[in-house]
Amino acid sequence: MFVNCDTPKILKNGDFDYVSQNKNNNYQSVVRYRCNEPYYHLVTNTGSDTYTCSPQGSWKDQNGEEEIPSCLPVCGLPDSPILEIQRIIGGKDAPPGSFPWQAMTVISGRAGGALLGDRWILTAAHTVFPKGQSDPEETQTLEQVAEKAEIFLGHTVVTELFKLGNRPVRRLFVHPDYNPNDEHNFDGDIALIELRDPVTLGPDVLPVCLPDPGNSSFYVPGWMGYASGFGVEKNILANKLKYAPIPVASRVLCQDWLQGKKINRRDPVFTANMFCAGSPNEGKDTCQGDSGGALTVRDPATQRWVATGIVSWGIGCGKGYIPTPL
């Protein structure tokens, strides 16, 4: 009896190779699935990546299962990571492939974001619902905002981002603690953007990792993180992605520094859900247009880049600490 299993199932973001001597789809032929490395890794349901053409005319693994593996995104391993501490405000042009999770969002204005997985963008809630828009006629639903939102990924030059095109948004989620009507309190300044279609990962588009729950080592004062963005530099919007090393600051020193500082003539609110980055004596900072971008650190244990916070608010540009939501 002649048995043919037809072409093996297509693996998204991967492929298969014939490993049997008879490289065809007939009985007892063997194939092995693989992912497009290093941007995806193989996840199997039964522990097997090898499938054999069975007497029943279907491809089965060693456990008799027909379901094929999946290719999941690899996070936090850029092709060209920033390795040295170098001198946003006072920042430098980011080399291609160094911050491949960087997104540029245009919702209520230009802002930043960080790719998580292959279809989620982490950003600040105030880039979705800006502070101070209490006029009911100005208020839009999340669905209305999602329809107008523009998301750009895949390049370090703004003009090239526009050429690559907008990534349509499916849904928006804003942290329930965020209050757009309180201009002095940025608690819960976190939002998630779900893209309509997953992006294809590669050297210029790669997600950043999230920290393990309960890991507080990245928030020790002096721990060096990196901020990146397309924000204001020398009073004009940057055309190139900038980055700057910004250390985690002492919570006590940051709180003392904030005393007497005003936002619209009122004291800013610094909550337990925030930490500070930067220094009052350094000129490295983020500015308008950088909001929503991630503060990232390199985990020495895994060598992966991790998003530890979101650029949220500050007092001026290049003038001091950056309070950042956890």
Q: Which residues are catalytic?
A: 126, 189, 291
> SS3 of 44, please?
coil
Task: For the chain, report the end-to-end CA distance as a whole number of angstroms.
Answer: 64
Q: Are 33 and 19 in contact (CB under 8 A)?
A: no
Give the Cα separation of 253 and 2 in Å (integer). Answer: 78
Give the Cα separation of 304 and 104 in Å (integer). Answer: 22
Dihedral sign for Cα atoms in the order 161, 149, 237, 309: negative
Give the Cα separation of 238 and 92 in Å (integer). Answer: 11
Q: Residue 274: beta bridge partners?
A: 325
How are strands ordered across the β-sheet holding 110-116? 150-153, 102-106, 110-116, 120-123, 191-195, 169-174
